[in-house]
Amino acid sequence: MPEKIYGLLGRKLGHSWSVPIHAAAGNQAYRLIELEPEELPAFLTRPDIGGLNVTIPYKRDVMPLCDVIDPDAQSIGSVNTLVRRADGKLCAWNTDVSGFFYMARRAGVELRGRKVVILGSGGTSLTAQAAARACGAREIVVVSRRGANSYENLGRHADAEIVVNTTPVGMYPLAGESVVDLARFPVCQGVLDVVYNPRRTALLLQAEARDLPCSDGLPMLVFQATAAEEYFFGRKIDPAKNQRILSLLRREMENIVLIGMPGCGKSTVGTALAALTGREAVDLDEEIVKVAGKSIPAIFAQDGEPAFRALESKLAEQFGRESKKILICGGGIVKDPRNYDFLHQNGRIYQLSRSLEKLPTDGRPLSQGADLAAMAAEREPLYRRFRDALSDNNGAPADTADAIWRDFYANSDSERT
């Protein structure tokens, strides 16, 4: 008997995290399967299909090619799970709805009795619509580029209480884009975004700024995957495994970001963290020197601080959207509020604290001859606004690195408070 095929079926899957999720659920054979539309019919006749997940843009396209479709999936109008039964029939289900319920419940987003605006009209939108109906939403509005409810006439739905993004806008590598300005929904009470990379899309960063309950799509992705595994192999999976897989992925993918006063030891601690974790350490000041082709003192002397800050922000944006990195930031990165979103979108931010008398000033343009106490007093509110945690670095850098890694391991899946 040939080995059975398990995997994710889609068109462009370079951004997908499905393989590590299914591996964590015990399916080591799971892989990514990229196909063009014309290749679908022949592929889905293969007798060695074990179990497949289906993603954009094929959640509806595969339905005519299935032999048996679960009634609930049929009523939703899209499927995401396929299994070849022993009798040869290709059967389909939709586990996305249960994943959507898990995402909303975990975030504390209540749909019952609320007006729900769903951005996008594709296969995932159908899932969100079905979930909102099942939860007893008072009103459901689907917004698309064309039709009665479009992005041009959003004003008619300013009373939306829940906003759900089912489009790929804001997904890596185009992080930073938002399909709407959340300010257009002044009474919004919760936001759900099916995008999961980066962890915090531009839409979710807006929700966080308003202290709204919100979630990215990773909880949904994990839950629908374990539900699909149950269909693949005909076995139940402990519900607690979803949280274990989610925590594992958060720790694996999120960046560790170091901020703090010039000379507080960010580079030394970052190097120690790289050795401890096996992650790549990216020193943004070193990257600035590479791009500018000159030292930082030379940039300040020849081009001025604004030119330096512009480069700093550009690189914070570039590296902030990456995953599994240790990002070492310059002392003044907090001076530009835009950098917070760049660093926070996919990272947990640590401020290193060190006694002022221990801070060196050589080679640091803004520290030389400066009143460090005054600088610290000016910047402390900015550091406080950026940071997720404060880490004392008056001892050995290796001890600081160890403490940060233990905190990161324990808290990388926690929501910002």
What are the b/e assignments for 368-388, b being 16+ CB within 10 Å? Answer: eeeebeebbeebeebbeebbb
Helices (H), 159-295: 202-209, 218-233, 240-253, 266-277, 284-292
Catalytic residue among 4, 12, 59, 89: 59
On whether the CB atoms of residues 390 and 355 are closer than 8 A, the answer is no
How many C-beta atoms surround the C-beta of residue 224 within 10 A? 27
On whether the CB atoms of residues 316 and 259 are closer than 8 A, the answer is no
Q: Is the alpha carbon torsion for 140, 142, 148, 152 positive or negative? A: positive
Q: Measured in whole angstroms, how far is the alpha carbon of residue 219 from the centre of its chain? A: 10
On whether the CB atoms of residues 114 and 138 are closer than 8 A, the answer is yes
Q: Residue 336 burial (CB < 10 Å; 0-12/13-18/19+)?
A: middle
What distance in Å separates the CA atoms of residue 274 and residue 276, rounded to the nearest whole number?
5
Note the residue count of the chain. Answer: 417
Q: Is 294 a catalytic residue?
A: no
Cα–Cα–Cα angle for 344, 14, 3, rounded to 5 degrees: 130
Active site positions, annotated? 59
